[in-house]
Amino acid sequence: MTHLVQAIALGLLIGGVYALMASGLTLIFGVMRIINIAQGAFLILVAMLTWWLWHETGIDPILASVVTTPLMFGFGWVAYRLLLSRIRGSSASMSVLLTFGFALVIEGILNITAGNKFKSATPSYFEESFRVGGVSLPKAQVFGFLAAMAVLAVLYFVLTRTWTGRAIRAATQNPSGAALVGVGAASTAALAFAIGTATTGVGGSILSVLYPFFPASHYDWISRLLGIVVLGGMGSLPGALIGAGILGLAETLTATYGSLNWSTLVFYIVIMVVLLFRPQGLFGAKLREDTV
Amino acid sequence: MTASSPSGNETHARSGLRVPHRRGRGLKAVALGVVAALALAACGTRPSESAAAGDTSKPIVVGISLPLTGDFAQPGSEAKRGYEVWRDMVNAKGGVLGRKVELKITDDASNQDTVVADYTKLITQDKVDLLLGTFSSLLNYAASAVAEKNGMVFVEPAGGAPNMFERNFKYLFFAQQATAPHQADVFVDWIKSLPEADRPKTAAYPTQDDPFAKPVIESMQKQLEALGVQTVYSEVYPADATNFQTIASNLAAKKPDLVAQGAVFEDGVGLVRSLKQLNFSPKVLFQTSAPSNAGQYSDAVGLDNTEGVFYTVSWNEKATTPLNADFVAAYKKAYNADPAEDAADAFASAQVLQTATEKVGSIDQDKIRDWLHANTVDTILGPLSWEATGEPKGQFLLAQWQSGKVEVVAPSDVATSTTVVNPKPAWK
Amino acid sequence: MSRLRSLPRAHLIAGLCLVLLLLYPVVNPWQPYPQGVMLLAFLLAIQASSWNIISGYAGYISLGHSMFLGLGSYTVGVLAVRFGVNPLWVAPLGGITAVVIAVLIGSVVLRTRGHAFVIITIAMLLAAQIFAVNLKSITQGSDGITLELPFWDRDFQNIPFYYVYLILMVLTVLFSAWIRRTKFGTGLVAIREDEGKAASIGVNTTRFKIVAYAASSFFIGMAGGVYAYYLTFINPVGSFAILGSVTIVLATLTGGRGTLYGPVIGAFIVQLVSEGATVYGGGSNARVLVFGLALMLVVLFLPKGILPTIEAWWRRRHPEKVEYTDQAGALSRVPVTATERVRAEIAAVNEKDEVAPGEILLDVRGVSKRFGGLTAVDNADLTVRKGSITALIGPNGSGKTTLFNLISGGMAADSGEIWFDGRRIDGMRPWRRGHLGLGRTYQVTRLFKEMTVQENVVAPLPDSRWRTMFSDAVRGHEAARARELLDIVGLGRFANQPAGALSYGQQKLVELAQVLMLEPKLILLDEPAGGVNPSLLGQLTEVIRELNRSGVTFLIVEHNIPLVLDLCDPVVVFSHGAPIAEGPPERIRTDPLVLDAYLGDDWRPADGDEGTGDPADDRADDRADTTTREAVQ
């Protein structure tokens, strides 16, 4: 029984972190209809940066997101202006290929600069756990979860309470309508891309503590995140949260009761089953996809 | 243009031919280019004739393709250093058969296609005199097949996966003491040497699904079960597993005396950390190769926590094998760093090839092959000898972390320390 | 006409290269290394050409295509080890496994439009790796499978592989060329250009995409089988590597996505450059970086690829003379025989109906459609009688175009029923409705701009038979019919022009010809007169009358009231999502309700754009802007 509780608790903690990582991806997709394949590479980039900061200065990796988040915001803004804005208006497949290339470039640069080795940040609390009843919750996992939730709350606040956020949501729901009321599509897009990228600032910092990583890890991460987004419905933020929770749980439960070997596969199986019965995902709006 | 009627083939063809010079020029250029390319390349001998006795005044060229980039860049670069240290040491003593040694090293980018192309090129195009192997089984499988096809002796520093030797290749030699299923034999022997009462009663066997780690643990489990050690946990996890909390909590719940993990590197670190989080410390902890990455391992788990951890290894810096001290010194001088096991394995491979060539007195591949099948070679790893399949017949070294350093504790003839830490102290 | 001339030129050069490649090992047999490099280029070309079918022609990007190579390798490897057969003899089974898996994945993912596909392709590549690792009893897990060495003399080591791959490459290119020539191929390009439109002209997009995905996997799977034998060893990490997919994408993109020879050229470039980098590049750890940079640069600066860029350059240097005169008098040149034949065909189709002339052909019963809080169509009833030219008029935003979308299947109604020709159709996919004889044009034309005018007209499928799908689109009956239809609308001369080069009015006529290809019983025309110059208008009404005389029924949305009153009977007036009046034109003209609807709060100039408040029209509005701009130029 404690076993089950432990597994569920771990699953939810992981799910929370997944949710944060997927939120940026789904936000970018929602506003721009761009699947940012480089999102996984951004995460690894931040993780590497965080690791380096931690290694050099001893700053807490999760707190380091205070530095990495604005950095990634700027990075996202520049990346949008320099790269993605150039292919605005061409087909969606071009943006997939462009961001795929971008991911490879980041991987390649990290290969050269940081080397092809596994890294992992290990702050002092790394090996400690909170004990609640018979259940032990690793501190790193808990801190990561809390940080993720805090950022998601901020994101939610920005999207619902500020003009900028409302503009972004308007652009998601109805681009030309938004344009009519004075929401500039280009600047909203740049902003959304920057915010979406900024979430990797926190996500990557948490990743650096929770998981060992190396430059090519980004394939794993992007397929995991894309899985969550497809499951939740592309472009839907609540969908990303629920999808992340479901997949976090599925992964941990399979690892506990089934075989660890198959736990990654559960991800893909869940996705295929959902697509089979609900092609639009759990929360996806079917409206536009099927419109002639 | 008048050729606007789209009625059938002939019109197409004719309308095409009606612009003779412009098209003709293009075609001619293409044709010329290809003919030139053909002419340039049209030379060479049959691959089977390539092993002709070379000019004895020229250096002996040894062809190697290594994963200097990509997934296996780490061991690949170490192997390169090992080979280069060997070359410099040999040349300083006048070379092999009185000829200088030259290495021709290409990068295969950890890619199977490229490693095949590389060795094909080295053998058939560059006509190298001798071959040395590459790193990782993945690449050695494909590379050794090229060597076998071309009748070239292939001494590999890595690639101990068991089915490597199920193919009955005649030119393949693995230059380590044992293949994966036999690497834990030395650890099992040590347990056997303990008094019955002191032996672990229960054991847990988590292992990564890795062609080198898993067979070690599987074979150990079998041998220990025969010895009466009860298996309480056994789990194979995927190579990309990143979360070890689940394994650790499942495992700790069974409270085994011995934890034997098939760990490549990061998974070894991950499990130790998770066990520490749960504050479960087994009496005996064995990990396959993770603890051999000296500095990295102690940094990652904390120096205090390394105390008493066992692992098996092909080579140790302090080993008293012939030339080992020279190798370590030369390596340190050249690269200003401690040599890694991979570099030593590469060095040993080169020693194997060198010894056979010198004993045979020529670079005749068939003679070298026959000699190696019949004899034992002394290397910095210790003496090596082979079955007909190229599988080695020796034993690994059992090493243990003691007071922040690595000591070889078995077999006794090469041991650097006579004390063995048992049981392992609790986590710090 | 340079297109025609460039066609055989390309084929001639390709043929010459093929002869040289065939001769190469004969001239120079004892060189396994260059042969090895070439055969890997062939392998990449096979993969790139295959990938081009789904991702080039149909525009659905697959980032996990190297999975099929691995599947082929494993199929053949497992069979060879288990039954002791030579891998070469069972290599085609590798292709079959690939096709089976592609159909399975495709039928889950390709049912919808959009982005799930690209994501799933990456996921499936990684999933395949996990399967290969874990299905130990079959695949031997991460230990991998070792195969015997080739049976032939070592002197010939790479030559047999060289020829096998060369032949496979030629077959792949021929296969790809054949697909592009069929209506299947035209349909795929239609899907890439505008999937919704493709569905409305009878293209069963789901089936087309799944078949394309399967077709793009077969030769890769087969090549994978041979590849296992070539390497003599397969394991999960090597067989399902994502970098393999990267090379495929890069090769095709470099050469020219969607072209026939582009992928092959790209494959040779990528393979030779990367081999060159290995030999001369030294040990720089930059391969991934270089691949990534190359991919980005190609996407940003050479998005069409080398081959199309060269073609465009060639065409600029050798411009062709085509008169883009407008349509005045075009109809007078229509060959009478063609018109007669088409009219006879259409009449024949319409005679077979269950519904007799004068009876109800289309019956809309209580249909509603809401967008959030806005009710665009509100419990609307509408009947169209067979043989009539029914008009649907009403102020902007009254829901006319939405109603069209509901009838043609572009959108699903929230409630109500739609019956057509005695069958309930509101649950049917758009292409089924097209097959039943329901055609439509768009307020803003939606031609496939990258296709020629003729291809545009050949593309529609009047039925769901496989035979129709694989019939020749370049020559033969279908192409001849398309030319006849083009002649009817007076645009025969432009058959081989890109559709995007035509004026707006001409595009409207092409779209009409396109619909005629469906052998329709009912044509929905959405503002046929909008943006068409007045001199053309008379001709257009003439065509409509002609077709109507042959038995085609029309439902027309139009703002040009004089035209409506002249052409149509009856006239239905729509306001706030439902009809408010119906009757002969002379009565509608004087109906106070109608005048109120038009001249009340909602009144706007009659030629204005419809539907700015209608979410469904947003995209159409975007199009309208660009097209109008083009028309002005």
CATH number of the domain at C393, please. Answer: 3.40.50.300
Do B238 and A261 lie within an 8 Å CB cutoff? yes
Q: Which residues of chain A does B241 touch, with a Cβ-Cβ cutoff of 8 Å?
A: 260
Residue A191 located in a structural domain? yes
Extract the tokens encoding C399.
């829901």
DSSP class of residue C423 equals: E
Q: Which range of residues forms the domain containing residue A9? A: 2-277
Predicted pLDDT of residue C627:
33
Extract the tokens encoding A248.
């976090």
Q: Which residues of chain B does A252 touch, with a Cβ-Cβ cutoff of 8 Å?
A: 246
**Tally of CA atoms within 13 A in the half-sphere of B9 that contains its CB:** 1
DSSP class of residue C609 equals: P
Residue A240 amino acid letter: A
- What's the pLDDT tens digit per position in A125-169? 776 778 777 777 888 888 889 989 998 898 888 888 888 778 877
- What's the pLDDT tens digit per position in C383-442? 999 889 999 988 888 888 889 999 988 888 888 999 998 889 988 899 999 999 899 998
Cis peptide before C570 (omega within 30 of 0): yes
Higher local confidence (pLDDT), C491 or A204: A204
Predicted pLDDT of residue B240:
65
- Residues B218, B353: one domain? no
Q: Which residues of chain A does C408 touch, with a Cβ-Cβ cutoff of 8 Å?
A: 292
Phi, psi of C508 (to 5 degrees): -60, -40
Q: C357 falls in which pLDDT band (50, 70, 90)?
A: low
Q: Does the structure show a pLDDT above 60 at B100?
A: yes
By mean pLDDT, which of C71-80, C348-357, C572-581 is the weakest? C348-357
The answer to whether B144 touches B369, Cβ cutoff 8 Å, is no
Residue B156 located in a structural domain? yes
Q: Which residues of chain C does A234 touch, with a Cβ-Cβ cutoff of 8 Å?
A: 114-116
Phi, psi of B132 (to 5 degrees): -125, 155
Higher local confidence (pLDDT), C515 or C610: C515
Using the Cβ of B245 and the Cβ atoms of chain A, whether some distance falls under 8 Å is answered with yes
- Residues C204, C352: one domain? no
- Residues C220, C365: one domain? no
Residue A202 located in a structural domain? yes
Q: Does the structure show a pLDDT above 60 at C336?
A: no
Number of structural domains found in chain A: 1
- Residues B283, B406: one domain? yes
In degrees, rounded to 5, the angle at the alpha carbon of residue B68 between the alpha carbons of residues B62 and B74 is: 120
Do A220 and C409 lie within an 8 Å CB cutoff? no
Residue C512 located in a structural domain? no
Q: Which range of residues forms the domain containing residue B81? A: 60-177+320-384
Do B42 and C28 lie within an 8 Å CB cutoff? yes
Residue B68 located in a structural domain? yes
Do C114 and A289 lie within an 8 Å CB cutoff? yes
- Residues B271, B402: one domain? yes
- Residues B165, B269: one domain? no
Q: Choose one of C173, C208, C242: the last residue of a domain.
A: C242
Residue A289 located in a structural domain? no
Q: Does the structure show a pLDDT above 70 at B314?
A: yes
Minimum CA–CA partner of A173 in chain C:
C615
The answer to whether B243 touches B275, Cβ cutoff 8 Å, is no
Q: Choose one of C218, C242, C266: the last residue of a domain.
A: C242
Do C63 and A229 lie within an 8 Å CB cutoff? no
Predicted pLDDT of residue C75:
95
Do A212 and B250 lie within an 8 Å CB cutoff? no
The set of chains that have 3 or more CB pairs under 8 A with C is: A, B
Q: What is the pTM of this model?
A: 0.82
Q: Which residues of chain A does B253 touch, with a Cβ-Cβ cutoff of 8 Å?
A: 3
Angle, in degrees to the nearest 10, between helices A163-173 and A2-32? 80
Min Cα distance A256 → chain B (Å) is: 6
- Residues B74, B153: one domain? yes
The answer to whether C250 touches C263, Cβ cutoff 8 Å, is no
Do C120 and A94 lie within an 8 Å CB cutoff? no
- What's the pLDDT tens digit per position in A178-233? 666 666 667 788 888 999 999 999 999 999 888 878 888 888 888 888 888 888 88
**% of chain B with per-residue pLDDT over 70:** 86
Residue A284 located in a structural domain? no
Residue C490 located in a structural domain? no
Number of structural domains found in chain C: 2
Higher local confidence (pLDDT), A276 or B351: B351
Q: Which range of residues forms the domain containing residue C101? A: 38-242
Q: Counting one residue from A and one from B, how many pairs have CB atoms under 8 Å apart?
A: 70
The answer to whether A41 touches A222, Cβ cutoff 8 Å, is yes
Q: Choose one of C242, C261, C296: the last residue of a domain.
A: C242
Select the residue from C2, C5, C46, C472 to test the B interface by mutation, using most B Cβ atoms within 10 A: C5
- Residues B88, B236: one domain? no
Extract the tokens encoding C173.
């290119």
Q: Does the structure show a pLDDT above 50 at A286?
A: no
Q: Which residues of chain C does B170 touch, with a Cβ-Cβ cutoff of 8 Å?
A: none
Interface of C with A in 373-392 (CB under 8 A): none
Do B138 and C238 lie within an 8 Å CB cutoff? yes
Extract the tokens encoding B124.
């058939």
Q: Does the structure show a pLDDT above 50 at A288?
A: no
Q: What is the mean pLDDT of chain C?
A: 83
- What's the pLDDT tens digit per position in C36-66? 889 999 999 999 999 999 999 999 989 889 9
Q: B52 falls in which pLDDT band (50, 70, 90)?
A: very low
Residue A78 located in a structural domain? yes
Q: Which of B12, B112, B117 sits opposite C33 (nearest CB)?
A: B117
Residue A53 located in a structural domain? yes
DSSP class of residue C52 equals: I
Q: Which of C290, C300, C621 sits opposite A87 (nearest CB)?
A: C300
In degrees, rounded to 5, the angle at the alpha carbon of residue C80 between the alpha carbons of residues C76 and C86 is: 100
**% of chain C with per-residue pLDDT over 90:** 30
The answer to whether A209 touches A259, Cβ cutoff 8 Å, is no
Do C127 and A265 lie within an 8 Å CB cutoff? yes
Distance CA C277, CA A137 (A): 50
Residue C168 located in a structural domain? yes
Distance CA B3, CA B20 (A): 15
Q: Does the structure show a pLDDT above 70 at C162?
A: yes
Torsion of CA C92, C94, C95, C99, to 10 degrees: 140
Q: Which residues of chain B does A259 touch, with a Cβ-Cβ cutoff of 8 Å?
A: 235-236
Number of structural domains found in chain B: 2
What's the distance, CA C134 to chain centroid? 38
Q: Which CATH number belongs to the domain containing residue A217 in this structure?
A: 1.10.3470
Q: Does the structure show a pLDDT above 60 at B61?
A: yes
Do C40 and B113 lie within an 8 Å CB cutoff? yes
Residue B216 located in a structural domain? yes
- What's the pLDDT tens digit per position in B232-286? 999 888 776 766 877 888 899 899 999 999 998 878 888 998 898 888 999 999 9
Residue A239 located in a structural domain? yes
Predicted pLDDT of residue C163:
94
- Residues B340, B244: one domain? no
Extract the tokens encoding B332.
């340190």
Range list of H helices, C302-452: 306-317, 336-351, 400-408, 430-435
Residue A286 located in a structural domain? no
Min Cα distance A60 → chain C (Å) is: 31
Residue C213 located in a structural domain? yes
Predicted pLDDT of residue C327:
44
The answer to whether B178 touches B394, Cβ cutoff 8 Å, is yes
Q: Counting one residue from A and one from C, how many pairs have CB atoms under 8 Å apart?
A: 164
Q: What is the mean pLDDT of chain A?
A: 82
Residue B8 located in a structural domain? no
Distance CA C299, CA C316 (A): 22
Interface of C with A in 399-438 (CB under 8 A): 405, 408-412, 430
Q: Does the structure show a pLDDT above 80 at B167?
A: yes
- Residues B276, B379: one domain? no
Q: Which residues of chain A does B428 touch, with a Cβ-Cβ cutoff of 8 Å?
A: none
Distance CA C103, CA B171 (A): 44
Give the E-state strand segments of C61-219 in sequence order: 145-146
Residue B375 located in a structural domain? yes
User: Which of these, B151, B110, B160, lies nearest to C149 by C-alpha position?
Assistant: B151
The set of chains that have 3 or more CB pairs under 8 A with A is: B, C
Q: Which CATH number belongs to the domain containing residue B105 in this structure?
A: 3.40.50.2300
DSSP string across C536-589: HHHHHHHHHHHHHHTT-EEEEE-S-HHHHHHH-BSEEEEETTEEEEEE-HHHHH
Residue B421 located in a structural domain? no
Q: Which residues of chain C does A284 touch, with a Cβ-Cβ cutoff of 8 Å?
A: none
